[in-house]
Amino acid sequence: MKTKPSLYLVLTVILVILSIIGGIFLFQIINKQDNTPSNSSSTAKIELIPTDVPQISVTPVATTAAKISPTPIASPTSKIKVTPTATPTAIPTKKVTPTITPTTTSAPSATLTYSSSTDGFSVDYSSTRKVYQDTESSGNRYTFSLSSGNFAVHIGLNDKWAWTAPNRNFSGDLIVAGQNTYRYDISNQTIVDLQSNGKNYTIQCVHNGKESLKTECESFISSFKLL
C-alpha cells in the first residue's frame, strides 16, 4: 500500500519534467520561426521606411511644425519689436522742435512802453511782464510783474515817499529823466528816487541778485521819462 503512492508520485514528477522540456523545445522552435525575415509583409514595409526617412526627413519636421503651429506667434512679436525701433527715430525729430524754442528767448528783448498821463511818466518794460496799477498809502503804484522779480514805479503824493530813507540826498551821479537822483542798492534790489512837479517818483527793481535782472533793471531805469 505504501509503494504504490510513491510510484505514482515519481511518475508525476517525471511527466512534469518532460512537459517542461517539451515546452522549452517548442518555444525555441516557434521563436526561430518568428525570426525568419521571409514571409512578413509588414516587416518588409518597416525595413523600407528607414531607407526613405533621410529623403523624406522634411515631412516629419513639417508635421512637428504643424503641431507646433503656435510658434508663428513669434513672428508678430518680432514685428511688434520692429515698430518700437521705428518710433525712437521719430521721437528725436519731435525733440528737435522744442530746441527751436530759443526763438522765444527773443521775447524778453521785445519791449513795450507804458505811460501814465495821470502821474506824468513813461517807462519801457519787457513784454514778458504784466502791468498792474493800484494804490498805496503814499500814492499810486505801477507794478511790472514777473515771477523771477518784480519792477515797480511808486508815485508819492503830498510830499510822501513810498519808502523811508533817512539819508536821501540827490546827486548828479545818476541822471534819470533829466533829474538828479538818489540811488540805493542792496543784494536783492535797486531803488532810485527822483522828484518833479511836486511828485516823488521811486523806481524799484527786485532783481534778487540775478545778473540778467540787474541788466534789465538798468534798462528799465534809463528808459524812465517824465511827460
The chain-wide mean pLDDT, for the chain, equals 75
Kindly tell me if the per-residue pLDDT of 215 is higher than 80. Answer: yes
State the pLDDT confidence band at 34, using cuts at 50, 70 and 90.
low
pLDDT score at 6: 75
pLDDT score at 40: 39
Sign of CA dihedral 127, 129, 134, 135: negative
Grid cell locating 132 = 498792474
Percent share of the chain, pLDDT over 90: 51
**What pTM does this model have?**
0.53
Grid cell locating 12 = 508525476
15-30 mean pLDDT = 82
Output the CA–CA distances (angstroms, integers) from residue 112 to 168, 209, 223, in the order listed: 31, 24, 11
Determine the length of the chain. Answer: 227
pLDDT score at 140: 97
For residue 119, how many other CB atoms are within 10 A of its CB? Answer: 19
Output the CA–CA distances (angstroms, integers) from residue 25 to 22, 29, 71, 73, 131, in the order listed: 5, 6, 57, 62, 124
pLDDT in tens, 90-140: 444 344 444 443 333 444 469 999 999 999 999 999 999 999 999 999 999
Give the Cα separation of 221 and 179 in Å (integer). Answer: 12
State the pLDDT confidence band at 35, using cuts at 50, 70 and 90.
low
Give the Cα separation of 217 and 207 in Å (integer). Answer: 7
pLDDT in tens, 154-198: 999 999 999 999 899 999 999 999 999 999 999 999 999 999 999
Q: How far is CA 152 from the centre of its chain?
A: 41
State the pLDDT confidence band at 3, using cuts at 50, 70 and 90.
low
pLDDT score at 173: 95
User: Which residues contact residue 32 at a Cβ distance below 8 angstroms, ignoring those fewer than 6 apart?
Assistant: none
Give the Cα separation of 126 and 112 in Å (integer). Answer: 6
